Chains A and B, each alone.
Chain A
Amino acid sequence: MNGKRFGYQKRLVEFEGKLYYERFSKAQRFQHLMLLISFSLLIFTGLPLLIPETWIVRKMFLFEGSFTLRGIIHRGAALVLIGVSVYHVFYCLFSSRGNRELREMIPTLKDLKEPVSMIRYNLGRSEEYPEFGRFNFIEKFEYYAVAWGSAIMIVTGAALWFPVSATILFPRWVLDIIRVIHGFEAILAFLAIIIWHMYNVHFNPEVFPMSRIWINGRMELEFLRHHHRLEYERMLAELPPDKTQRVREQLGEA
């Protein structure tokens, strides 16, 4: 492995005299923020359609015209999501950092072994915390879930937005299937985020009440060493000796 390819020098940032591992760059944090905003708006304006009979939804559309507003907001948020998705695709393909991250995301056989070893660890069968790379299986799963989900939601949403144009391509009963997909995919995404993602970044006792990495992008070196051991080691291997020394000193290893 050629050390320079990963650019770890830039990843090691200093803040108030302490070294941190820069987990997310500004561009990535921006993408996450846009995703967060558009996703919340989409959920808030879309899910009521799946449970139209409930009391809370009826209260939501108390005002005249609020249902129309719902549609406008939903479409506006969808445009934001589309925008950030397109930006993300370009970011992954053409920026050097994005490209490196994308390569790290490529699924490998190790991703199948990781959950097994993690469960073994959690069951107490193994005392060793599994060694993870830059992205562990949970993160990869979430990434692909979001990527795949966004793609599905964008395509099906576009068909539902322009039903007349869509039906040039196929008969309307396909649109009914698409509506079912759009609805259930939304439920799946919402539940995955509210349970799986929220647990991992908020309620996991190790980060409770919230991991701040999505705001400032900095990950503490201790955390990196424990949760992303392989990444940590790879970084140390690439860093020049003085930096390596500082990292080790900070972690009390030297």
Chain B
Amino acid sequence: MNNFKLPALLVLALFIALGNGQLGAQENEICLECHNDPELVGADTLYVDSEKWTASIHNRMELECVSCHMDLAGFEDWPHPERLEKVDCSVCHDGAFELWQQGIHGLPAQAKGDLDAASCADCHGSHYIMAVKERSSRVYPTNLPHTCLNCHGDPELADKHEGMGRAEVAEMYLESVHGKALEKSGLVISATCLSCHGSHNISSLEEFYPQIPKICGNCHAGIYEDYIQGVHGEAFVKGNKDVPLCTDCHGEHDIKSPDDPESTVSPRAMSENCSHCHDDMSLSAKYRLPGKRLTSFRNTYHGIALNLGDIRVANCASCHDYHNIRPSSDPKSTIYPANLANTCGKCHPNARENFAKGKIHLEGKLEENIGAWLVKKTYIVLITGLIGSFAAYICLDLVNYRRRRRSVGKNQNQPEED
């Protein structure tokens, strides 16, 4: 291929040398003269579409080819070597480069020379880079998920690198409230990959996880404030690893609106969601919390009705609040004894203090409500006894009837009632 091109390039170089007299200030047109010609350089990697290049941010910033391909600066001996040095973006974008070096994409590339990890061009493109805020940019919110999917949607790569997000994640995202906002409502302010994971310095999961509430709080600022005031947030700030973060209740990539029946925090699903921790014996024991909150909820009318599809009845959050959850000992808590009447009153207007007296979660234990326990046991004994005697009596009656029928059959003349 090169042999074929060589004479042409020589002619070109001669022509330019004659025309300009000198080659000190290489202009982009000189490079494009060859690189814009698919026949000359082939249609793939070496090809540069001059139109697209003209539209790119680098051209508009009046950069020249050699601003990036610096090893060709001042080059005069055409044709230039086949292998050029890798373009070093950090010459200009040193800040972004430093961040990238610290991130999960940059680290392996630095340490192990892993070329699979994304570098600048993998996300931003090479010649046709647009400004981040421009709609045709590969990292513009509406395009970003697809850009990330270039690697993360590749099963071969995912198999090769442990812990790498897979394509399913992207599918989950597109079905989520964030994805729908982006795709359906066309909302570019919706959360995309980088809103949570960051852009250049994407961190490993271990570093990422403790950041979650703050990351969500970047947009959900009001919720974040509620959350850190609550018992979960308070412990989170102190570094507790067991407390639920946003994602533990709402999901990660597949976050749905709480109004969506499929959401993990929809009225019907809520109790099961909270039960992951509050029906867990080991966690209950560790923090001395009352356990079996789900089963004890399902024993109440609220639990039964909710389970059978009446979503107007109280779920966990109706009484305990959503984000600002506090223990019953906290005077600000919705379930602080003095506030209970008020909390119940949200649904049961005019509820008074008496209305809140007594256990809400029912486990059917003796100490919980002695009266109820006694009544229950009494009824069980009574029912078993009564039904047992009914059954016995009926059996007796039937046996006797049969016996008498037989004896009547023997003496046909005898009247039946004897």
- State the A residues within 8 Å of B (CB): 48-49, 52-53, 57-58, 61, 64, 66-68, 119, 121-124, 127, 129, 163-164, 167-168, 170-177, 179-181, 184-185, 187-188, 191-192, 195-196, 199, 204-206, 225-226
Contact = CB atoms under 8 A, between A and B. Distances in A.
B354 A171 contact: yes
A164 B401 CA distance: 54
A124 B397 CA distance: 11
Nearest to B405: A205
A206 B386 CA distance: 23
B354 A191 contact: no
Given A181-B375, A226-B417, A163 B305 contact: no
A68 B382 contact: no
B365 interface: no
Interchain residue pairs A-B with the least CB separation, the first 5: A173-B358, A171-B357, A184-B379, A67-B310, A122-B400
A158 B273 CA distance: 34
Given A67-B305, A67-B308, A184-B379, A173 B396 contact: no
B349 interface: yes
A191 B382 CA distance: 12
Given A52-B308, A173-B359, A226-B417, A167 B354 contact: yes
Contact of A124 (B351, B369, B400): B400
Interface of B: 298, 301, 304-305, 307-310, 312, 348-352, 354-359, 362, 369, 371-372, 375-376, 379-380, 382-383, 386-387, 390-391, 393-394, 396-401, 403, 416-418
A175 B358 contact: yes
Contact of A167 (B304, B355, B380, B386): B355
A179 B299 CA distance: 11
A176 B391 contact: no
B354 A170 contact: yes
Contact of A192 (B350, B386, B417): B386
Contact of A176 (B304, B308, B309, B359): B359
A66 B371 contact: no
Contact of B308 (A58, A180, A206): A58
17 contacts: A48-B308, A49-B301, A52-B308, A61-B308, A123-B396, A123-B400, A129-B417, A164-B350, A167-B351, A168-B354, A172-B357, A173-B369, A173-B371, A179-B301, A188-B382, A188-B383, A191-B386
Contacts of B393: 119
Contacts of B309: 61, 64, 66-67
A192 B358 CA distance: 32
A175 B362 CA distance: 12
Contact of A188 (B301, B354, B386): B386
A199 B394 contact: yes
A60 B383 CA distance: 26
Contacts of A67: 305, 308-310
A201 to B, nearest CB: 13
Contacts of B371: 173-174, 177
Contact of B358 (A61, A64, A176): A176
Contacts of A172: 354-358
B61 to A, nearest CB: 59
A205 B355 contact: no
A164 B355 contact: yes
Contacts of A121: 400
A134 B312 CA distance: 52
Contacts of B417: 129, 225-226
B358 A184 contact: no
Contact of A205 (B359, B391, B398): B398
B260 to A, nearest CB: 15
Given A58-B308, A66-B309, 13 more contacts: A53-B307, A68-B312, A129-B417, A167-B357, A172-B354, A173-B371, A177-B371, A184-B380, A191-B383, A195-B391, A199-B390, A199-B394, A225-B417
A184 to B, nearest CB: 4
Nearest to B303: A52
A64 B261 CA distance: 12
Contacts of B352: 164, 167-168
A168 B396 CA distance: 50
A180 B376 contact: yes
A167 B356 CA distance: 9
A164 B386 CA distance: 35
Contacts of B298: 52
Contacts of A174: 358, 371
Nearest to B360: A172
A119 B389 CA distance: 12
